[in-house]
Structure formats: C-alpha cells, structure tokens
Structure 1
C-alpha cells in the first residue's frame, strides 16, 4: 500500500476538482433558483428572512441561496467564489464549518435585529468569509494566514464599509453579523 503525498500533483488536482465542484454546485443552485424566480416572479424570495416572525426563521437557511435580481446575484457570485475558495484552501471540512457558522450568525442576527422586509442574498456569507480570512491571521499568526489576510485585505478591503447602514435596501445587518460570525469562526477554529 502506498501513501500519497499532499504535494503530489494528482492529489492537488483532485482537491482542486472537488473545490470547483463544491463552489460551482453552490453557485449553480443560486443561479437555478434565480432563473426559476425570474420565470415565476416572487416565488423564491418569500423564503427569505422575515425578521421576528415565525415563518421568517426558515429564511435563516434559505436566504443565502435567494437573490432579488440578477444584478444582486452577480454582485455576490464572484466574491462568494473567491473568498469561499480562500477559506477552502486549508480544508474542505473547514470551509463547511465556517460556512455553517457564518450562515447561522448572519441569519440569526438578521432575524433578531433586521429591519422590516424580506432579507435575501449570499452577502452575509461573503462577509463571513471576509471576516474569517482577515481575523484568522490574528488568531493563528502563521505566515500563510498572514499572507492570505493581507491579500484579502488588499483585494476586498473596501467591503468593510458594507457593515454600516449606508444604503437603503441593503441588509447591512446581514453583512455585520456575517462578519462577526467569521471572526468567531476564526477564533474557534484556530483554537482547535
């Protein structure tokens, strides 16, 4: 029996294929739902987060897959893929742990404190990945995490303004609680 080295090109190619499949699958679901909602307008977004209502609780899990328009989805797709992949570089298991934490933090925060209306979109998760990647360097203090944090800060640093209530119709609460969830995930996972 032979053991494959993690630096083996076959292993790296296999991991990269699984990263593409996971991120592509998640984004594919978002796009399929957006297309279906375009055909039957308004049918999907009712599953978003409706703050402080019992029916709105389901949106905590569903809202990241729902988007109010194609422009909304396009603006979330690239950062979701890029930041999600940066999170996934360490391990797929860590990606799913971070995703679950930020999805719940963002969703519960919006449900508890969000402004009235239906909140949808993957930006809470995107901000969670952003918070995770920035703060992981602080908690871990490894060369890799510091380099990744610097790269993310340079590329996506302006995202930080999205946690403030600067635009009507934008769920800044989702951004804020997603970011906080990402910082929590970084602290929790670096302690393991």
Structure 2
C-alpha cells in the first residue's frame, strides 16, 4: 500500500515554462526587428527608476548568445519545478523573482542588470536544497542531476567576469536556499508501505488485501471464511487503519 505522491504530469508542467521562454524570445525579436533597446528597462541598483527592472529585466537580453545560454536551463529547471513542486511553483517563481530582484537592486554595481540568470540560480538553488532536505529518493536524485548539469554555475556567484551580473546570481542562490527552508513543510513524503508499520503482521495482510482503503470488499473472500471470520477481518482492518492514521498524525 503506497501513500499517494504529489508527482503528476499536467499540461502546465511544460506549457507554463514554454510560455515564459517564448515571451523572452518575443521581447528579443522585437528589439532586433524594430531596432529598439530595452536595456533602460533593466534593473538599475538603488534608483527608484531602476526598480522596474525587478519585473522586466528577466525578459531582456544583450544578444543571441546571452539569450540562448539562459533559456535552455530556464526551460529545464522550470519544468522540474512545475512537475515536482506544482502546488508551490507559482509562489517560488513570483516571490522569487521579486525578492531576487530586490536583493540585486540593493547590492549590485551601478549598471543595468538584465537577463533571466537570477531566476535560473533561484531555481537551481531551490531544487538542489529542497531535494536534499526532503530525503525523498526522487527529489534527492533531482538534486544530483541539478549539480551534474549546472554545478558550474557556482563559479559565477563571484566577480570573475566584469560583464556578468554575479550579484543577481548570488541573490538567486540565496533566495533559493531561503525558500527551501520556508517551504519545508511542502516536501513530498516518501512512499510508506504496509510492511514498514511496526504493527504489521504478514498473516493479517493476507486478509487485508481483500479490502480497499475505506474497508470495503474489493474481491470475493474464499468460501471457507464464514461470517464470524469476516467480522474479525473487518475489525483487523479497522484497527490497522487507525494505527496508521495515528502514526501519520
């Protein structure tokens, strides 16, 4: 008997990340097609006019290489977010974008900071630390995959390249770790099996397989089991359910 998991594939798992990436490419296409420059809408630290970049900067990129390098990891990590953490995915993206931008606005160098890399670091950090905290084999595996694919990102939270907004990267990393703690109660639980229960009895389990989770018969009992024995089976089933519920509480 497995506990129901919160890992469900829905159209939004791929649909929402694709729309996000598509919006970024459309903004870049408008810049190229009409010869406009959206950099002034980027995040400029410690100026009120620069606060608009908290919301706009993730959609603005300096060139095709910058755009390509950001949209692929953004697509992969956001799909992982929507698949494994569907119930909190919008909170992570919405609050994460806001908080990452505000921290960058406070600590960054005086320059226009653009690009979705802050969100990428937010997602990578959150997925890694959340998986480690969960102790759930699927989420731990996801953490290892994130490290394998994007472990090199860690170098860019330091000022090794003057043209890279390491402050935005560092802000995303910090916010992702913070959210992994804040949303700790939303960690999916590992599967629980009947035989892991301390009161599990193999003989009783032979009877239990004839019932669903609500104690209703799901298959015909052997003819040799009389009515009295059936009542005993129902009682055993009830006791086990209560014991399991108490343990989970």
TM-score normalised by the chain length of structure 1: 0.88
Measured in 2, the distance between the counterparts of 1:187 and 1:149 equals 15
Measured in 2, the distance between the counterparts of 1:52 and 1:135 equals 30
Q: Secondary structure at the match of 1:191?
A: helix
Measured in 2, the distance between the counterparts of 1:101 and 1:152 equals 21
Task: Point out the structure with max Rg over C-alpha.
Answer: 2
Aligned to 1:63: 57
Q: How does 1:1-192 map to 2 (within 5 A)?
A: 12=9, 15=10, 17-192=11-186
Measured in 1, the distance between the counterparts of 2:185 and 2:156 equals 28
Aligned residues of 1:49 and 1:59 also touching (Cα < 8 A): yes
Answer 1 or 2: higher relative contact order, Cα 8 Å, separation at least 6. Answer: 1
Measured in 1, the distance between the counterparts of 2:106 and 2:35 equals 27
**4+ aligned runs moved over 4 Å, structure 1:** none
Measured in 2, the distance between the counterparts of 1:42 and 1:93 equals 38
Measured in 2, the distance between the counterparts of 1:113 and 1:179 equals 14
What count of residue pairs does the alignment treat as equivalent?
182
Aligned residues of 2:132 and 2:143 also touching (Cα < 8 A): no
Q: Secondary structure at the match of 1:159?
A: helix
Instruction: Give the helix-richer structure, 1 or 2.
Output: 1
Aligned residues of 2:12 and 2:82 also touching (Cα < 8 A): no
Per-residue displacement from partner, 1:15-65 (whole Å, max 9, x unpaired)? 0x2222211111111000001111344432211101111100111011111
Measured in 1, the distance between the counterparts of 2:150 and 2:13 equals 21
Q: CA RMSD in A?
A: 1.9
Measured in 1, the distance between the counterparts of 2:5 and 2:109 equals 47
TM-score normalised by the chain length of structure 2: 0.69
